[in-house]
Amino acid sequence: MWNLKNLGVLAAAGLLWMTFVPVVLGSPEAKPASAPSPDKAVAVHEETSVTAIEDLMREHGVLDRVLLIYEELLKRLEADEPFPAEALREATDIIRGFIQDYHEKLEEKYVFVKFRYAQAFEGLVETLRQQHGRGRLLVKDIISCEGLRSPDEKRKLAASMRAFIRMYRPHKAREDTVLFPTFRTLLYFSEYDMLGDIFEQEEARRFGGGGFEKIVSRVEHIEKMLGIYDLSSFTPIPATESQGKGEGV
């Protein structure tokens, strides 16, 4: 629960910028940007910088897709269906290299510290930080059982994957809906813009040019390997629709 002290710190950290927004938006010069023509779409995309929070949230999209891969592998494991071990190794490598060693380090170094300074959502931030640590331990367990050398390893692998999925779904949802929307209010405009540049530079340093796109391509490769790449395959047929088709016209 926030108090007046918390609100005062937030204001000092940059919340006062909100008072100027109506003036800017209401000025004659503030006109909506026109949509780019198709032939300029690529150029506009290249010139548009990704903000810090946009960067973190699209990385959450990668995590979500890997969690879907884990769910598919878990289903096959528990049903004794063909289990492509290379898909598990590749997905886990993305979690370790991109999510844990990169994405979570950015959160801890640049996002969590801001909330601790502002004395806001301290309990939530500490829980998120602890879950980062638990996630790394679960990944170690998953890697140790990748060979499926015994029934015990199979059970341990299934339990670790299930625990990982169960923790990270609410983990990322709480960051997306509580932490990230508030984070923007803790920084000045210039500080926020600079942070976006820092994230882009760190991504390029670790993964080279087009680092995010390379990771997404790796995820797509695993999805195609498992037959879950086609988005339409996740579209259900509601009971009311199937009943209507059965009745005829």
* In the chain, where the domains are located: 50-228
Burial bucket for residue 46 (CB in 10 Å: 0-12, 13-18, 19+): exposed
> pTM for the full model?
0.78
pLDDT at 146: 85
Q: What is the pLDDT of residues 142-186, one digit of tens each?
A: 999 988 888 999 999 999 999 999 999 999 999 999 999 999 999
Q: What is the pLDDT of residues 51-74, one digit of tens each?
A: 999 999 999 999 999 999 999 999
C-alpha to C-alpha distance for 171 and 131, rounded to whole angstroms? 8
**Cβ contacts of residue 156 below 8 Å, gap of 6+?**
141, 144, 145
Chain-centre distance for alpha carbon 41? 25
pLDDT at 49: 76
C-alpha to C-alpha distance for 125 and 160, rounded to whole angstroms? 23
- 109, amino acid identity: K
pLDDT at 241: 73
Task: Kindly indicate the confidence band of residue 109, based on its pLDDT and cuts at 50, 70 and 90.
Answer: very high
pLDDT at 244: 60
Q: Point out the least confidently predicted range of 28-42, 122-136, 145-159.
A: 28-42
Measuring CA to CA, which residue among 99, 95, 117 is closest to residue 6?
117
- Contact (Cβ atoms closer than 8 angstroms) between residue 204 and residue 102: no
Q: What is the CATH number of domain 50-228?
A: 1.20.120
